[in-house]
Structure 1
Amino acid sequence: MNTPSHAIVNLALFSQFSLPQANLAIAVGAILPDFPIFLFYGWAKFIRKLPERQIWSESYWQPGLQNWVALFHSIPVAILVAIWADYCGWETGKWLFMSMVFHSLGDLPVHHDDAHRHFFPFSDYRLISPISYWDPQHYGRIVAGVEVLAVWVATAVSFPGVASSIGKGLMVTIAGLSAIAYVYIYARPLVQDYKKG
C-alpha cells in the first residue's frame, strides 16, 4: 500500500478501540515503517542525484538499508514493543507500535518482488505475493483501485472521530490525491490506448 493510505486505513481500523487522543500516534505509526525508505530516497535523489532506475534497482537493495527497512517493518519487533508499552502504561507507544504492526500486515499481501522481511530479525523470509499494489504485471491496476476505494471508505469511517480540522483536511486531501493519482497512472493510459486503437 502507499504510505498515506496506511494512515487513513489504520485510523479507521483503530477508531472502534481507541480514543481520539490516540489518532496522532496511530497516524505516525502507520507511516513510520516507510521512514527509512523516504530518508534513503531523499539522500539518493537530491544529494547523490542518482537516476530513478539506479535508486530502485541497485541502491535500494544494499544490505545496510535493507536491514533498516526490515527492522521498521518487523511485525514481531513492533508487537513486542507494543506489549512492553502497554505493560508500562505508555498508551501513545502502544497505539504507535500497534499501528506499525497493521502497516506491515497491510503490506504483506500486496508486495511481489519488492517484499519486505516482515519477521526480521528472527527470519529473513519474504512473502512474495502474486499481487502488487503498484506493478501492472501483478494486478497492480486492480489492487491500486481497491486501495483507492479502501481509502475513501476509511476516510468516511474515521472522519467523525478526528477532532482536528487540519487532520480532517489532510484526510480529504489524501483521499482526493489517491483518486487523482490512480486516474493519472492507470486509467489515463487505458483511455489513450483506446483512442489509438
Structure 2
Amino acid sequence: MNTPAHLLIGAAVMGKKGNRAVIWAAMAGALAPDLSLYLLAGGSLYLLGISPRVVFDELYFSDSWQTVFAVDNSFLLWGAMLAFALWRQMPLVVAFAGAGLIHLCLDFPLHHDDGRAHFWPLSDWVYESPYSYWDRGHGAHLIGPVEGALSAAAAVRLWLWRPGLLIATTAAILLMAELWITWIWIFVFSQ
C-alpha cells in the first residue's frame, strides 16, 4: 500500500477518539516500516545524486538495504513490541506497534516482486504475492480503488472524532496524497 493509506488506516484503527497523542502514535507506527526506504532512497537520490534507476533497480534489492527492510518489516519484532506494550499497559506504544503491524498485514499480500523478509530474524523468505498495489500487471488497477476507498473511510472516521484542526488537516492532506498517488500508479505508470 501507499504510505498515506497506511497512516490513515493505522490512525483510524489504532487511534482513540478524544486522545490526540494516541492518534499521532498510531500515525508514527504506520509510517515506521516505510521510513527506512524514504531515508535510504532520499539520501541516495538527493544527497548522493544516484540515479533513480540505480536506487530502485539495484540498491533497493541489495543485501544491505534488504537487511534494513527485514528488521523494520518483521512481524516478529512488531508483534513482540505490541505484546510487551499490551502487557505493560502502554497505550501510546500499543497504538504505535498496532499500526505498524497493520501496515505489515496490508503490505504482505500486495508486493509482487518487491516484498520484504517479514519473518526476520527466523527466516529471510520473501513472499511473492500475485498482487501488487502499484503494478497494473498484477492487479493495481483493481487494488488502487479499494485502497482509495479504505483511505477515505479512515479519513472520515478520523474527522468524525473531531480530533482538532492539525489532525483533521493532516488526514485531509494524506487523503489527497493517497488519491493522487493511486491515480498516478493506475493511470500514468501502468500504461
Larger Rg: 1
Report if the CA contact (8 A) 1:45-1:52 is conserved.
yes
Q: 1:95 to 1:183 in 2, by over 3 A?
A: closer
Q: 1:11 to 1:162 in 2, by over 3 A?
A: farther
Cα shift readout 1:67-123 (whole Å, capped 9, x = no counterpart): 111111111111111212232333212221111111100101111000111111111
Q: 1:48 to 1:153 in 2, by over 3 A?
A: same
Q: Which range is displaced more, 147-156 or 175-184?
A: 175-184
Partner of 1:145 in structure 2? 145
Q: Which range is displaced more, 49-58 or 172-181?
A: 172-181
Q: Secondary structure at the match of 1:61?
A: coil
Instruction: State the alpha-carbon separation in 1 of the partners of residues 44 and 159 from structure 2.
Output: 36
Report if the CA contact (8 A) 1:60-1:66 is conserved.
yes
Report if the CA contact (8 A) 1:20-1:162 is conserved.
no
Write the letter of the residue equivalent to 2:3: T
Write the letter of the residue equivalent to 1:131: Y
Partner of 1:172 in structure 2? 172
Q: Which range is displaced more, 79-88 or 56-65?
A: 79-88
Structure 2: gaps of 5 or more residues:
none
Q: 1:162, CA displacement in angstroms?
A: 4.9
Partner of 2:92 in structure 1? 92
Q: 1:185, CA displacement in angstroms?
A: 4.3
Instruction: State the alpha-carbon separation in 2 of the partners of residues 127 and 48 from structure 1.
Output: 31
Report if the CA contact (8 A) 1:131-1:140 is conserved.
yes
Write the letter of the residue equivalent to 1:181: I
Partner of 1:104 in structure 2? 104
Write the letter of the residue equivalent to 2:51: P
Report if the CA contact (8 A) 1:15-1:161 is conserved.
no
Q: 1:33 to 1:158 in 2, by over 3 A?
A: same
Q: 1:81 to 1:42 in 2, by over 3 A?
A: same
Write the letter of the residue equivalent to 1:8: L
Write the letter of the residue equivalent to 1:61: F
Q: 1:162 to 1:45 in 2, by over 3 A?
A: farther
**Normalised by the size of structure 1, how large is the TM-score?**
0.88
CA RMSD of aligned residues (A): 2.2
Partner of 2:136 in structure 1? 136
| Higher RCO structure (Cα 8 Å, ≥6 apart) | 2
Percent identity between matched residues is 22
Structure 1: gaps of 5 or more residues:
none
Instruction: State the alpha-carbon separation in 1 of the partners of residues 40 and 166 from structure 2.
Output: 28
Instruction: State the alpha-carbon separation in 1 of the partners of residues 186 and 148 from structure 2.
Output: 12
Instruction: State the alpha-carbon separation in 1 of the partners of residues 178 and 40 from structure 2.
Output: 23
Moved over 4 A (4+): 15-20
